[in-house]
């Protein structure tokens, strides 16, 4: 998970550069409405939509080799959410335009709500990862 998150972070840094959340990419954007509110106020972009579909498909490749089960699905989704969660943090740490010193409230426009030293989203994602992997643990 860590290796894939690291690769994905470097890849996304090359694509986005200093303009996070696909701000300067030639991609469609939805900036208003219930979907944006559901996403924590972050625009929905074509870049993120198709990247999400791609990553979910990649994470589900093991299903070509083993039978599907709810426990395995829970484990795969836990892996996916954990990878995306870690990749997001590594994007800031490894991006020369940000770095760990700029990983704080007020410096990152698309992370609007913070609880302590990290965005609120990270706390929710951490809980989701723990729950999904807990329920999927018997799949391995």
Give dist(CA 33, CA 119) in Å, integer: 22
The predicted-structure confidence for 80-138, as pLDDT tens digits, reads as follows: 999 999 999 999 999 999 999 999 999 898 888 899 999 999 999 999 999 999 999 87
State pLDDT tens for residues 5-57.
999 999 999 999 999 999 999 999 999 999 998 888 889 999 999 999 999 99
- Extended strands (E) in the chain: 29-30, 44-45, 114-115, 118-119
- Measure the CA–CA gap between 49 and 45, rounded to whole angstroms: 6
Residue 90: what pLDDT?
Answer: 96
Instruction: Give the pLDDT band (50/70/90) at residue 1.
Output: confident
Q: What's residue 140's pLDDT?
A: 57
Tokens of residue 65, six digits:
């080799």
Total number of domains constituting the chain: 1
Residue 105 belongs to domain spanning: 2-139
């Amino acid at each position: 998970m860590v290796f894939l998150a690291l690769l994905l972070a470097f890849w996304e840094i090359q694509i986005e550069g200093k303009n996070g959340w696909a701000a300067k990419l030639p991609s469609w954007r939805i900036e208003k409405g219930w979907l944006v509110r559901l996403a924590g106020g972050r625009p929905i972009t074509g870049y993120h939509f198709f990247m999400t579909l791609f990553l979910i498909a990649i994470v589900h490749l093991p299903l070509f080799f083993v039978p599907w089960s709810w426990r395995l699905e829970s484990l795969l989704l836990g892996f996916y959410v954990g990878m995306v969660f870690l990749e997001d943090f590594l994007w800031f740490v490894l991006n020369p335009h940000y770095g760990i010193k700029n990983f704080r409230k007020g410096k990152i426009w698309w992370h609007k709500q913070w609880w302590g030293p990290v965005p609120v989203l990270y706390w929710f994602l951490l809980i989701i990862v723990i729950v999904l992997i807990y329920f999927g643990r018997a799949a391995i």
